[in-house]
Chain A
Amino acid sequence: MADPKPLTARDLLAQILANSQTTTAKVDAVKAAAEIKVCKICGAARPDGTDLRQCDYCGNDL
């Protein structure tokens, strides 16, 4: 019967962990943050309760 234990479980696991780390592309993690969008024409912010697609002050498309 075939030998069911060619590598120890520990060595096999170490090999799996090393493979998973070296073969995975590293991505830059996006951090949690809040940011505000302002009108590029007049610099006004977007007040709550207004149409967020257009500047409430000068009417420019945001």
Chain B
Amino acid sequence: MSLDSVRDRWIGFLDKLEGRLTELLSQSAVALPQMLDLAGFDPLPFGNAVTGVVTQSRDIVFRIETTWCEQVEPAFEQALGDDGAAAIEAERQRGVVRQIAMERTLRTAEVSIQAEGAKRMLAEARKVLASRFVCSRCNAPLPVRPQFFRAYHVACEYCQSVNTFEPGMIARNVEHFCAHALAEEAALGDWFRHEDAERADRNSDESGGTARRIHRVKLYTAFVETYLQAKIDLVPEYAGTRDQDRDAKIKFYIQSIP
């Protein structure tokens, strides 16, 4: 097979994979949030479907590497002969660049689908908390906090009896399901900046390593701060442990750097 023919097939293969990934993710972005509505805002089937889509998408992306090793590299070697090392490396890099771009597309879609689900869940929770609740002793209207998603005691303004208010599954899921998804969406740009720095550090030689690692930690810290602030905006009770959460995440991250 000629060099041009091998290259054309390689580029066509990459285009085909990218098209398939884009198609799967764009259809998922429409279908999955609707699934949450249909399941009565139970986040489990939705979460399982997101995991399924991400797993299948990773398989698509992973095919770049496996196909390169099994079929494309040998085909280029055959077409180029012994002097083609530089050209083969350039073609491998073409695959790497496309793989990184597709991984980022996948991550963006995953975060965005989860956040869309979270927004629907949050809107429904607010609707539930805005309903009319009454004291179970005297039936007087009970004032319920619209932005508090846990069970708590609320005193009846009429008979002074203490009621236990249960916000229900949908409102409770705001903390368990929505807070993380919305915070990830808010901090996605910071995460990508950190990821770029991490990749640059990994692919560099040892010179300037300390400065690169300090830069990585700085970008990771920015990500953690944006993430935690977004959670606090939704659930103000988290502000009490903000510094502790931030320090623990950064300490763990520093320990994970080789």
Interface residue tally for chain B (C-beta within 8 Å): 58
A to B CB contacts below 8 Å, 29 in the list: A1-B72, A5-B16, A5-B20, A13-B31, A13-B53, A16-B49, A16-B53, A20-B46, A20-B52, A24-B42, A24-B44, A24-B45, A25-B44, A27-B42, A30-B168, A32-B128, A32-B131, A33-B168, A34-B133, A34-B135, A36-B135, A36-B162, A45-B137, A45-B161, A46-B162, A47-B162, A48-B161, A48-B162, A52-B153
Interface residue tally for chain A (C-beta within 8 Å): 33
The answer on a CB contact under 8 Å between B161 and A46 is: yes
The answer on a CB contact under 8 Å between A52 and B166 is: no
Given A4-B17, A33-B168, check contact A9 B27 (CB 8 Å): yes
Interface set of B (CB-CB < 8 Å, partner A):
9-10, 13, 16-17, 20, 23-24, 27-28, 31-32, 35, 39-42, 44-46, 48-49, 52-53, 56, 60, 63, 67, 71-72, 128-129, 131, 133-137, 142, 144, 153-156, 159-172
Nearest 7 Cβ contacts at the A-B interface: A32-B168, A48-B155, A16-B52, A20-B48, A20-B49, A9-B23, A45-B161
Interface set of A (CB-CB < 8 Å, partner B):
1-2, 4-5, 9-10, 12-13, 16-17, 19-21, 23-27, 29-37, 45-49, 52
Given A19-B48, A32-B131, check contact A1 B160 (CB 8 Å): no
Q: Dominant SS at the A interface?
A: loop
The answer on a CB contact under 8 Å between A19 and B52 is: yes
Given A1-B13, A52-B153, check contact A36 B161 (CB 8 Å): yes
Given A20-B49, A47-B160, check contact A2 B56 (CB 8 Å): no
Apart from A34-B165, A48-B162, 17 more pairs, CB < 8 Å: A16-B53, A19-B48, A27-B42, A29-B42, A30-B166, A30-B169, A32-B128, A32-B131, A32-B133, A32-B165, A33-B168, A34-B142, A34-B163, A35-B136, A37-B162, A45-B137, A48-B160
Interchain CA distance A16-B128 in the complex, whole Å:
30
The answer on a CB contact under 8 Å between B168 and A31 is: yes
Interchain CA distance A17-B35 in the complex, whole Å:
8
Which A residue sits closest to B134, measured CB to CB? A34
Interchain CA distance A21-B35 in the complex, whole Å:
9
The answer on a CB contact under 8 Å between A33 and B166 is: yes
Interchain CA distance A29-B168 in the complex, whole Å:
7
Which A residue sits closest to B54, measured CB to CB? A16
Interchain CA distance A51-B119 in the complex, whole Å:
39
